[in-house]
Amino acid sequence: MPLRTFETAAAWRTFRPQVVGTLGVVPTMGALHAGHVSLMERSLDDNDATLVTIFVNPTQFDNPNDLAGYPDRMVEDLEVLRNVGVPYLLTPTYDDLYADDFRYRVSEQAFSRELCGAHRPGHFDGVLTVVMKLLNIAQATRAYFGEKDFQQLTLVRGMTEAFFIPTEIVPCPTIRETDGLALSSRNFKLDAEDRARATAFPKALRESPTADEARAVLEAQGFRVDYVEDRGGRRFGAVYVGDVRLIDNMQLNASADNPLS
């Protein structure tokens, strides 16, 4: 089936009743890579149809330079979507999604203030608000989110439960490069030297006996560390490699359950 693109929420909502059977939605900010592709393939396997959304959501950026420098690869992204066989793409604009100019927002009062939320004020209000909008627009059976952004996944799942949103949230494992670096759109912004250095980040998270030791290892190697913390059997970290902020997390103990939700 050829890729069909919808540029407004209204255009998708008009078309939505024609989709027969189950629908999976994969929300993204574009600059697509193999991590995104793994979510799309899972959705294509699980459902009769799949909708990918590409929208760089300004309300979740606390740093205007980070937003302005976010990679824009729409030409390459369309090629990825065609190769993977995704039938539907939604590319809304800010004015379309935020006719209220962000006067209305979803906010969580506890876990969203920790880890990334402690270092990026308002970040998760932006994330939860745009995901709420996209889930309401998509009207999907299932929505696919990566464990790469584990705090986001946890908060999105909590939001759908709290607001009785009838879309199942499906977690998908983190896809990594062979040297261990988690795939991320932000990796496109690393120069060759910083890309080579970045491999030390997942290595330190994985190999250090404690979070404090991981932080010390990273600082000794010149990384600016936002946080390294252990929660609920997982280790979470965020560091700067040059100007580029990378996040990662991994399970510490295969038998630990997840009390974060």
Residues of span 135-174 touching ligand AMP by CB under 6 A: 145-146, 148-149, 172, 174
Question: Among 6, 28, 47, 137, which residue interacts with ligand AMP (rule: CB under 6 A)?
Answer: 28
Q: Check binding of 128 to ligand AMP (CB under 6 A).
A: no
The 8-class DSSP code of residue 17 comes to G
Sign of CA dihedral 101, 113, 26, 16: negative
Residues of span 29-48 touching ligand AMP by CB under 6 A: 29, 35-36, 38-39
**Rg of the chain over all Cα atoms, to the nearest angstrom:** 18
Q: 87 and 4 in contact (C-beta within 8 Å)?
A: yes
Q: Which residues are catalytic?
A: 36
In the complex, least distance from residue 38 CB atom to ligand AMP, rounded to whole angstroms: 6
In the complex, least distance from residue 212 CB atom to ligand AMP, rounded to whole angstroms: 26
The number of residues that bind ligand AMP (CB under 6 A) is 17
Show contacts of 174-179: CB within 8 Å, 24+ apart. Answer: 174/35, 174/146, 174/147, 174/148, 174/248, 174/249, 174/250, 175/34, 175/35, 175/38, 175/146, 175/148, 176/202
CA distance 84 to 107: 34
Question: Among 23, 86, 137, 175, which residue interacts with ligand AMP (rule: CB under 6 A)?
Answer: 175
In the complex, least distance from residue 144 CB atom to ligand AMP, rounded to whole angstroms: 7
In the complex, least distance from residue 154 CB atom to ligand AMP, rounded to whole angstroms: 11
Q: Check binding of 51 to ligand AMP (CB under 6 A).
A: no
Q: Check binding of 182 to ligand AMP (CB under 6 A).
A: yes
CB-based closest residue to ligand AMP: 146
CA distance 70 to 258: 31
Give the residue among 232, 198, 229, 225 at the shortest CA–CA distance from 212: 229
Binding residues (CB under 6 A) for ligand AMP: these are: 28-29, 35-36, 38-39, 145-146, 148-149, 172, 174-175, 182-185
